[in-house]
Each structure stands twice: as structure tokens, then as C-alpha cells.
Chains A and B, each alone.
Chain A
Amino acid sequence: MHIETDTKTKIKNYIIESTFDDVEKIKDDTLIFEEGILDSMGLLFLIEFLQEEFNLTTSDEELVVENFQSINSIIAFIESKM
């Protein structure tokens, strides 16, 4: 539980720092690409962040909306890789 909270905080902080968006705008289930919070370059930088922070490698096949659409999806994706 602590690990999940910590991961969530890191991801949320990363998105806020890289987009300069308000913290209130980004909820755990906000559709970050649909809402235009991150764009295509944002996705590439997010993948890099996941690699550097969690040593998580993303393959072509894993680049699907279900893995990246929200903070909750990203958490589930990270957990599935552990």
C-alpha cells in the first residue's frame, strides 16, 4: 500500500512538474492524453521517466491506451511488470 502511494505520488509529481499544470487538475483517474495534459512528446518523456525511476522498459506491444491513459492505469501497468 505504501509502495503504491509512493509510486502514485512520484508519477503525479512528475506530470505536474513537466506540464506546469495545477495539482487539482490531475486526479488519479484523469485521462491525461484525452484531456490534453500530455501530448505525444509527453508520452515519450513519460516512458523515459518510468525507465529511469522504476527501471521499467516499455515495448511496442505495451504502448496501448489501457497502460497509459491515467495515473491509475500507469500504476496498474507498473505493478503488472513487477
Chain B
Amino acid sequence: MNTTRKPFSKDILHIENIETVCNEIISKLKTDVAKKLQRRGAVIGISGGIDSSVCMALSAKAFGPKKVTAIMLPEQDSSDDSRILAEKLAAKFDVTDTIVEDITKALDGFGCYQRRDDAIGRVITNFDPLVDKAKIEIKQDAASNLPPAFSVTVIKPNGDIISKLLPVKEYLQIVASTNFKQRSRMSMLYYHAERLHYAVIGTPNKHEVEQGFFVKHGDGGADVMPIGHLYKTQVYQLASHLGVPQEIIDRTPTTDTYTAEQTQEDFFYQMPFEQMDLIWYGWENNYPADEVARVMDRTSQDIENIYKNFERKRKTTEYLRMRPIF
């Protein structure tokens, strides 16, 4: 039993010895890849996002930049910024083996776009995928006592917004269709990893792993996940320490999955990372709701409800983390 734990505070997740933490991750990454997995380098998909950027920086330090292959995997819905930032990142860490693999045609072959757009069109009948932008989002507050339901939002070229609650069949079809993106990326990463006898570095952080914000056999398919134990705000701390370009640090995390700009907060987390990290920490370390509420300037009932929301998310997404049963 831990009798000496710190009182809950907004600084509780701040990493004091950042250099040591980075060195430990780098050392473990080397051992995991070279000794346990017996691979001679690392393949990593880079998106210009904070998580993949930190993982690439750590990999470059662990294996040396010549033993890291960075793959950009854009498709027709990807933002142009993603590629520009990914190139800047690779240059910053002297990773010269960078490859661009546009997966649009593969996705088209799977019917990813058509299946997704058909489902959206069944809900919003005047949806025109050629000119309209679309995304799905959760509109309820994380402190709601009800599980989240998803809405589809279509943005017309004139700025008009149409939003409707997604029926379950359409929701599932949209998610299943767009999951082709992460699974195609995984296939391409493994193509390069096997070609080079390298390991695939997975980029999910602690929240993505534990709340199930990843695609099974998609971005959840990797050989090693060096930041899988870190909170998002800690990933930012590492990014600053490692020298990740400031544009990447300043960029709002998006899903880069739907045609309309969509933050991870809208799509899944329902609250800003700074709050989520702390409340998640409070929940998993059994801090009483009223102690967390005082620090976070929220009501105890809010925190109780968010704790329940976390518990529900972890339970609902257990399937994603399960290995095949035999």
C-alpha cells in the first residue's frame, strides 16, 4: 500500500528528470528491437503529429538516423501540412531514408471512400462528397452520465453546417470504412519493415492504448510502442526536450481521417488533454473525486461522472487490446 503518495495537484504529471526518462526509453527501445525482436533498425510512420514525431526522435537517438526509415502515408483526405511537417521533422533528426507512400489508390480499391460516403449519404441525403466536407463527432460533455453517441457533421462549400445523430448501422459502416486507412498504413509499414529486417515502431500514447483510441490491427499493429505508457502532456514535455520542431508542438492534434478538420477532442476525448491527463491520473490512482475536483475547479459530481466515463471507455474497448482467444 502506498502511504506516501503526493497530494493531487496540477503538476503531478510533470516529469522532473526528463533527461533520465528519455534515456531510459531510448535504452529500452534498443534492447527491445535488437535483443527481443532481433531486428536491425526501425520503420516508423510519420504524420507531422506530436506522437509520431516524438517516437521518431527517440528512434533516431536509439538506433542512429541511418537505421531509421520514416514513411509518410498520405491519402486524399490528408492535410498538406502533415507532409510538410513530417519532412521538416525527418530533416531535423537527420533521418534521410524518408519515403512517401500515397495510399489513396489502395483505399479506393478497398472501397474505403465509397462505403464511407454511402453511409453518410443515407443520413444526410443532400451530402455531396465531391464538394462537401464531413466528420463525425461526440457532442455530449465527458461529465454526462450517458455513454457517448456520435453525430455526423457535413460542411457545405458555403459554410452551412448540417449535423445529425448517427444511426448505429451508419456509424459502424463509417468507422469500418475509415479503418481501412490505419490498416493500409500498417500493411505498408510492415512491407518496409520486412524488406529491411526492421521493427515497426507504434506511436500510440497511454490514452490511445488504454481508452482504445486506435484501430485494432491498424495503428495498434506494431512491434514496440515506446510512448504507450506516457500521458499526452508528458509526450509534449518529451517533444520540447528532444527538439521536435515548434510547429509540430503547437499544432492541434487531429485525427487526419475525415475530410473536415477534426480535433481528437471533438472525436473522442470530449475534453482538453491538460484536463484529461490529470483526471485520468486521479482515476487510475484512486484519488477521491472531491480532491481532484478542488484542484480542477470542477464539481465532485463532474469528476465522479468522468471517472465512470473512463471506466466505461476502458471496459468497452477491452476487445481492441485482446489477443485472439484460443
- Chain A: residues with CB nearer than 8 A to chain B? 33-34, 36, 38-45, 47-48, 51, 58-60, 63-65, 68-69
Sorted from nearest, which 9 A-B pairs have the closest CB atoms? A40-B147, A44-B168, A65-B145, A65-B146, A39-B316, A48-B168, A43-B147, A45-B168, A60-B165
In the complex, the answer to whether B312 meets A39 with C-beta atoms within 8 Å is: yes
In the complex, the answer to whether B147 meets A39 with C-beta atoms within 8 Å is: yes
In the complex, the answer to whether A34 meets B147 with C-beta atoms within 8 Å is: no
Which residue on chain A has the smallest CB distance to residue B312? A39
In the complex, the answer to whether A41 meets B167 with C-beta atoms within 8 Å is: no
Residues of A within 8 A of B69 (CB): none
CB distance from B270 to the nearest CB of A (A): 12
Residues of B within 8 A of A36 (CB): 312, 315
Question: Given the interface contacts A39-B312, A40-B312, A41-B316, does A33 sit within 8 Å of B167 by beta carbon?
Answer: no
B window 271-326: CB within 8 A of A: 308, 312, 315-316
Tell me the bound Cα distance from A29 to B163 in angstroms.
33
- 11 A-B pairs besides A43-B149, A60-B163 with CB distance below 8 A are A33-B146, A33-B147, A34-B145, A36-B315, A39-B147, A39-B316, A40-B147, A44-B171, A63-B146, A64-B144, A65-B146
Residues of A within 8 A of B147 (CB): 33, 38-40, 42-43
Residues of B within 8 A of A40 (CB): 147-149, 312, 316
Q: Mark contacts of B132-166 with chain A using CB atoms, 8 A cut-off: 1 yes-contact digit, 0 otherwise.
A: 00000001100011111111000000000001011
Number of B residues whose C-beta is below 8 Å from A? 21
In the complex, the answer to whether B140 meets A63 with C-beta atoms within 8 Å is: yes
Residues of B within 8 A of A69 (CB): 145-146
In the complex, the answer to whether B165 meets A63 with C-beta atoms within 8 Å is: yes
Which residue on chain B has the smallest CB distance to residue A67? B146
In the complex, the answer to whether A33 meets B145 with C-beta atoms within 8 Å is: yes
In the complex, the answer to whether A41 meets B144 with C-beta atoms within 8 Å is: no
Residues of B within 8 A of A39 (CB): 147, 312, 315-316
Of A41, A43, A45, A60, which contacts B139 at CB under 8 A? A60
Which residue on chain A has the smallest CB distance to residue B146? A65
B6 in the interface (beta carbon within 8 A): no
Question: Given the interface contacts A40-B316, A65-B144, does A48 sit within 8 Å of B165 by beta carbon?
Answer: no
Residues of A within 8 A of B169 (CB): 48
Residues of B within 8 A of A51 (CB): 167
- 23 contacts across the A-B interface (CB closer than 8 A): A33-B146, A33-B147, A34-B308, A36-B315, A38-B147, A40-B149, A41-B316, A43-B146, A43-B147, A44-B149, A44-B166, A44-B167, A44-B171, A45-B168, A47-B149, A48-B168, A48-B169, A51-B167, A63-B140, A63-B146, A63-B149, A63-B165, A65-B146
Residues of B within 8 A of A68 (CB): 146
In the complex, the answer to whether A48 meets B167 with C-beta atoms within 8 Å is: yes
Tell me the bound Cα distance from A65 to B308 in angstroms.
13
Residues of B within 8 A of A43 (CB): 146-147, 149
Which residue on chain B has the smallest CB distance to residue A45? B168
